[in-house]
């Protein structure tokens, strides 16, 4: 009897995996991953090699900074210490090439004609919010911000930020940067439009990484993700009871949208809440809309927030 129940569970589980609407066949789509380790070519090199490096990567050297300052960076003691740690975590390959290849394949599936960029690795100059920048043919990956959430290098950085400072977030951050390029920012500044905008971003990230867990897509640890799921209805009722949906107060961004350790309901339990909870609710609204209307992904990106909300019939 127990064996029969277990087998039924496996069947249901496998069926639920197959029913993921974002699971598409990309096996025939070729995606090329080319990584250029500028960080190993620059930091720690003898200053006599500076001209050669600058000639190869002229677009990385701002004319507003003198050559002598650039050369000093090559042998800066703090940066050399950082280099040792980066080289330890990333001795050669990034370790997430397969995941990045999957992101590239899915981008090509939904956006035919997209050309994958070369990945160029460098350091962020201690800016932990700088992760990935996308240009036309290049993607700049700041490896010093992916050394592991428990790494001593990040001492003093808030834990909710360190949570995302692992190599697993390189493909997630790439997907987000791409999404920001193709999802139009809303013309209206009300709270509903903003959370649905971020919901579109998150939904597109899920489409580009359909096998990733929602907690990874959202940047939550296990506890924060559980809080968001268990309190979705209460959060929505709070938004309704306080007439927040069409409010244009910018302070709502800081309370419920911007990166933060927790969301601000001005209650004693705030510290337990998940930060950026408005984005989570926006994702849930978008998901409900997609379940009901089943539009093409590109059509979703162009649809206004009010239409998405009205037709989603969202009611957690």
pLDDT at 6 (0 to 100):
45
Q: Which residues of 146-159 are buried (b: 16+ CB within 10 A; e: fewer)?
A: bbebebebbeeeee
- Residue 80 structure tokens: 């050399």
pLDDT at 278 (0 to 100):
98
- Residue 171 structure tokens: 């493909």
Q: How, if at all, do strands 118-122 and 35-36 pair?
A: parallel
> How far is Cα 96 from Cα 227, in angstroms, rounded to an integer?
29
Q: What are phi and psi of 265, to 5 degrees?
A: -100, 0
> How far is Cα 252 from Cα 228, in angstroms, rounded to an integer?
18
CA angle 301, 307, 312 (to 5 degrees): 90
pLDDT at 11 (0 to 100):
42
Regions in the chain scoring below 70 on pLDDT: 1-18
- Residue 147 structure tokens: 């050394």
pLDDT at 7 (0 to 100):
43
Write the DSSP symbol of residue 45.
S
- Condensed to tens digits (0 to 9), the pLDDT of residues 192-247 reads 999 999 999 999 999 999 999 999 999 999 999 999 999 999 999 999 999 999 99
pLDDT at 136 (0 to 100):
86
pLDDT at 140 (0 to 100):
98
pLDDT at 137 (0 to 100):
93
pLDDT at 12 (0 to 100):
42
| Cα atoms found within 13 Å of the Cα of residue 285, Cβ hemisphere only | 27
């Amino acid at each position: 009897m127990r064996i029969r129940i277990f087998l039924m569970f496996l069947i249901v589980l496998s069926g639920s995996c197959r029913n993921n609407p974002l699971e598409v066949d990309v096996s025939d789509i070729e995606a090329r991953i080319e990584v250029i380790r500028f960080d190993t070519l620059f930091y720690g090199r003898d200053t006599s090699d500076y001209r050669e490096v600058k000639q190869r990567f002229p677009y990385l050297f701002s004319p507003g900074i003198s050559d002598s300052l650039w050369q000093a960076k090559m042998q800066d003691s703090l940066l050399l210490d950082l280099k040792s740690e980066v080289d330890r975590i990333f001795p050669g390959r990034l370790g997430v090439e397969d995941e990045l290849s999957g992101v590239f394949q899915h981008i090509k599936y939904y956006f035919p004609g997209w050309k994958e960029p070369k990945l160029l690795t460098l350091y962020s100059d201690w800016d932990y919010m700088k992760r990935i920048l996308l240009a036309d043919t290049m993607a700049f990956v700041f490896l010093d911000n992916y050394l592991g959430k428990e790494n001593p290098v990040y001492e003093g950085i808030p834990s909710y930020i360190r949570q995302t400072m692992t190599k697993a977030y390189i493909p997630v951050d790439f997907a987000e940067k791409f999404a920001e390029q193709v999802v139009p920012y809303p013309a209206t500044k009300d709270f509903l439009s903003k959370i649905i905008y971020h919901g579109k971003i998150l939904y597109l990230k899920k489409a580009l990484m359909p096998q990733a867990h929602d907690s990874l897509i959202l940047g939550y640890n296990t506890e924060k993700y559980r809080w968001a799921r268990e309190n979705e209805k209460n959060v929505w009722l709070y938004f309704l009871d306080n007439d927040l949906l069409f409010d244009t107060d910018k302070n709502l961004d800081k309370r419920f949208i911007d990166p933060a350790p927790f969301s601000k309901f001005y209650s004693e339990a705030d510290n337990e809440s998940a930060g950026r909870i408005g984005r989570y609710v926006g994702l849930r609204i978008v998901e409900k809309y997609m379940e009901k209307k089943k539009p093409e992904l590109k059509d979703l990106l162009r649809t206004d927030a009010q239409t998405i909300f009205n037709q989603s019939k969202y009611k957690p």
